[in-house]
Structure formats: structure tokens, C-alpha cells
Chains A and B, each alone.
Chain A
Amino acid sequence: MNIASSTNHAVRPVKRRTLWKTMYQQRCLMLMSIPFLIWIFIFEFGPMFGWLMAFVQYDPNKGILGSQWAGLRYFKMFFQDPDIWLILRNTVMISFLYILSSNVFPLILALMISEVGDGYFKRALQTVTYLPHFVSFVVVANIFLTLFGMRGPVNELLRGLGWTDRPVLFWQDKNIFWYMVTFVRSWKEIGWGAIIYLAAIASVDQEMYEAAKIDGCGRFRAMWHITIPSILPTITLLWVLNMAGIFNAGFDASYLLGNAMTREASQVIDTYVYELGISMGMYSFSTAVNLLQTAVGFAFVFITNTIARKLTDYSLW
């Protein structure tokens, strides 16, 4: 007994002393990392815990764990809300149009830019097309609401050309709202989206183009048979990543560009969650909606990735 305990003592303190010693030696690194680990626990993991709110009848005074269990009640409520199909339709349509345009237009732009020789024109073009990405959506909304406003230059032009005699109400028409939003967002991000494609195109082996030229291959055919297949991995990757956003139509566009007259077409999950959750205090319900949105996003990435892997051999994982 005595011996056993003494050997125990003999081993343990040494181990502990090494840990203490390491800790002492690395105290500076601890000082430089532990505050940030705490920050991660609070601000990255804290909200993950908050998802539980969707399953309880949340009472701010009792906290999440003290509140009464509600199970899937709020999820059922969501599907019983008569507005929900409208909101889901808007969300999916707005994000689908944007995913489509944010994959196609930047690719076309990148193909066009890469056909221009290096020089002043190319640099100027890149400079002006990237700029809107850095401007806030508030500014962009402000500009486009004015440009396409009743008295804006677009309406003036249309009237000047004699195409209409009455101003076109671009922002008051719920039938074209989705396309207007897609147009504004595409304008803002087209240049930025082209950067990755441009980099991919630049890394294509130039000898292939030389060989194609000797074989009498035109530029469109070179694009179709060399450029596109070479950058297919990049195209696939961006497409899969973008699919995560299928249930995420973006708060900014709907909130800033929508109005009472287009509400039927502009309300999306994000604005719905904001209105119910923060303005009206329906915490549990809006968290449930939010959780569904996130889960569907994950599912879509998974599905597109599987399809991409089957069809093209390229995938995210």
C-alpha cells in the first residue's frame, strides 16, 4: 500500500510538472490564443446552441433550457401559414435566377475579356466592372431606384424614343420584380464573379490554342472545345457552392428594393424571419424557419455535388 502510493506519487507529479512546465514556457502563446478560443466558443458556437430555440416555446425569462419543450410544433406551423407558399416561391425563384445569372454572366464576361489583348482597355474594363462589388447595396439600391424611377433617365429615354407615352413603373410592378432584382444584383457582382473564371482561363495551357489554330480552329470553337472543358472544374465548383444559396434570396435586395406594391413578389424567407423574429418577437417560430432554410441549403449542396460527380467527374468532395 505504502509502496504503491509512493510510486504513484513518484510518477504523477513528474507528468504534471511537465505539463505545468510546458504551460509556463508557452504562456505567451496561451495569452495569444485563449482569448480568441473563448471568442469562438461564444460567437461561433453560441448561436449553434441557439438553434434549440426552434424546439421549445421560448420564454426569454427562463432561457432556452428552462422553456417548455415544443417539439416540431413550430415547423408544422410554418407549413400551415397560408403565406408560406408565396414566400417559398419568391425565395426559390429569386435565388434560382440569381444563381443562374451569377454563374452564366461572369463566365461570358470572363470569356470576352480573355479574348482582349493585355493593355489599357483590358485594365480599365476590369477596374470599372469590379467597382460595384465594393459599394454597399444601399448605395446600389438608391442608384437603381432612381435610374429606373418614374422620372429617371431610363423612363426619359423610353419616352424620348417614343416607345411609351406613360412612365413605366419598373419598381411598382410585381410581375417583373424578380427580374429587376436579378438585374441589379448581376450588375453589382458580374465583374467580381469573373475574376475566378479569368484566373482559371489564364492557367489553360496556351499550346493547346496554338495547336488548334494550326488545325484551322476558329475562336468560338477554341472557346467551346478548349477553354470550357479546361475550366470545367472551376465552373462545377462554383455552381455547387452557389447551390447552398437556393433558399437564401438575400435580405438586402428584397428589403431595399421591395415596397408595398411588390410585396407579393418580394417577400422572402430572410425578410419574413426578420419581421416575425425581431419586429414581432416570435423567436421560436422564426428560428424554426431559419433552421429549415439552413438545412435545405446544406441538402442542396449535397445533392448538386452528387449530380456533378455523376455527370462530370468533378466535385467538391
Chain B
Amino acid sequence: MRKPLSDRVFDVVNGALLTLLGASMVYPFLYVIAISLNEASDSSQGGTWILPRKLTFESYKIIFVNNDLVSAALVSVARTVLGTVLVVLCSAMFAYVFTKQKYFLYKPMKLIFFVAMFLGGGGLIPVYMLFRSLGLLNTFWVYIIPWMLNLWYVVLFRTYFMRLPREIEEAAFVDGASELTAFFKVILPLSKPIAATITLFAAVAQWNSWRDTLFFTASPSLRTLQYVMMEILQRAEAERMITRAEMLDVALGHLKLVDPMSVRMAITVVTTLPIVLVYPFLQKHFIKGILVGSMKG
């Protein structure tokens, strides 16, 4: 059946608008890549829009030998790996206990959980003072311990666990397994899809985090990649009025040859790359994840 003319016009206009929107989502990333790969002096003349005109890996070489950046990358990787593993394990374990209605602490636990979920936490300053009194300020653990448990992930895990057939777990108990064994040997292996989703969410959150570095740490050895990038960005913005040669010094210490913009863009690419790499896996799962979340109420 042929569609009426008005419908076809609608489809064409709609498709064109959506294509334009899609392009506006992709273009900024293409531009960043192009600048990071283009020769710095050439970029400053303008005209580099999509493809690098004079290809060079100079900016990448510079960032990979910069000690500050390498150490920041290591901190980022460390907090991402440790923080993610812990939050996934802890949230899953706590969620598992929430499936045991016979547990004698079940009811008080549930009450505490809901109060925490709706009223818990606090503003920046109360949190800051708490971390200070716990001695977490200016330590690596400020990236890990306060985010060790995520109440939201607990809800997602529990929803999933409740749908698993009871019999499999019962069989383990008959064999004399404790709850701890049942959790690690039976429940967790059966929950790979939800565990994968939450792992990816948690890893992205850890990797992207920069405010905690700003608020709770002062030591240069605790700086993360995102934070270093933020610093370079802020300095580059603040020093815009200074001559370009001086700006180089400001942006990355002693670099004289490369325009800071291409270095900045190279750091942007390096920081974003891990996200883009896990994105296909993430996308497969997250839609389900947030829909379960939105139905929670």
C-alpha cells in the first residue's frame, strides 16, 4: 500500500531532522580527534574541521611521557578497578541478604534501608566534615570507601535475585552450604547479566568522577585523569589572554613545541576512549537497567 503524500513528506522531514541531530552528536567528537591528530601550528590557522590536515602523533607522544599524566592515569585505573569490584560485590551481597525474609534482622534492616534511601546522605559540607573526622580526606580511600555500597544497585540486584528460582539455592543448602557459599557459588554465577550491567555503570561512574578529587583531596599524587584534564582546561581558559607561547608553559609545564589545544584534545581522546570502548557492552544492558529502575516505585 502506497503511503499518502503527507506521510512521505513527514518521513523525509523527520528523517532529515534526526540525521542532523545525530550529526550534531557525533561531530564534536570527530573534531576533537581531528585536532588531536593535526599538527599544532597548522590547527592554529583554522580550517581543520573533520579530518586532520597534517597528521602527527606528536601530542599523544607528549602526554604518554608526561609523568603527571601517567600517574594520574594510574590513579584513575586503580580507583576504577578497586571501586567497581567492591561496590558490585558489596551491593550484591547486601541485596542477597534482603531476599531472606526469615532473617531475624530483616524488618529493622528494611526500615533502615528505606530511611537511608529517601533521607540519607547530606550536603557537601556535612559530608566533608564526616570524611574529615574519619580521616578519609586526602587519602586514596576517599575514592573507595564512601562509594563501597550503592543503595540503588542493591535494589537492582535484589529485583533480579527475587526472580531466580528458589530450588537451586535450596539444593545447595541441603548439601550443607552456608549462605555465604550459596551466594558466591550459586547466586552470583546465575546473575551475570545484572552484575555485568552494574559493573559497567559503576566503572563509568568511577572513571568519570572528578569532583571528589576537587573536594576531598589536595595531594598531587591523588589526582585522577579527569581532574588533571579539568585543571588544564581551567588554566587554559584563565590564561587565554596571555600569548600562546606562555600558554604552552601554563598548560603543561615545559612543553614548547605543541599547541596546548592539540595536547588538550589528545588528553580528551585518551580519557574518553575507555568509555567508547565499553559503550557497546553498556548499551546492550543499560536500557533494561534503567527501565527496571523506573518501575521501582
Interface residues of B in 229-254 (CB under 8 A from A): 229-230, 233-234, 237-238, 240
- Beta-carbon contacts under 8 Å, B248-297 to A: 261, 264-265, 268, 271-272, 275-276, 279, 282-283, 286-287, 290-291, 294, 297
The 8 residue pairs across chains A and B that have the minimum distance between CB atoms: A50-B126, A47-B122, A44-B120, A290-B123, A136-B208, A44-B116, A47-B126, A33-B97
Cβ of A109 under 8 Å from chain B: yes
Interface centre among B11, B126, B148, B183 (most CB of A within 10 A): B126
Asked whether A22 is an interface residue with its Cβ less than 8 Å from the other chain, the reply is yes
* A47 neighbours in B (Cβ, 8 Å): 120-123, 126-127, 130
Q: Is the CB of B123 within 8 A of A51?
A: yes
Contact yes or no, A124 B130, CB < 8 A: no
Instruction: Decide if A243 is an interface residue (CB 8 Å cutoff).
Output: no
Q: Does B178 make an interface contact (CB < 8 A)?
A: yes
Are B123 and A142 closer than 8 Å at their CB atoms? Answer: no
B18 touches A125 (CB 8 A): yes
Min CB distance A221 to B, Å, is 11
Residues 28-57 of A, flagged 1 when their CB comes within 8 A of B and 0 if not, give 111111101101111111111111010000
Residues in B whose Cβ lies below 8 Å from that of A42 = 130, 134
Known: A40-B112, A47-B127, A277-B128. A131 touches B279 (CB 8 A): yes
Q: How many A-B residue pairs have CB under 8 A?
A: 230
Besides the known contacts A42-B130, A116-B14, 13 further A-B residue pairs in the complex with CB atoms under 8 A apart: A34-B105, A40-B120, A43-B130, A45-B116, A46-B122, A48-B122, A50-B130, A51-B122, A135-B275, A151-B46, A156-B46, A290-B124, A290-B126
Instruction: Report how many residues on chain B are interfacial, defined by Cβ distance under 8 Å.
Output: 90
Q: Tell yes or no: A199 within 8 A of B by CB.
A: yes
Q: List 8 A-B contacts (CB under 8 A).
A: A51-B126, A139-B268, A141-B233, A144-B28, A146-B32, A273-B123, A278-B124, A278-B215
> Of all chain A residues, which has the CB nearest B177?
A28
Q: Which residues of B contact A150 (CB under 8 A)?
A: 240
- Contacts A50-B130, A115-B10, A256-B230; is A293 near B264 (CB within 8 Å)? no
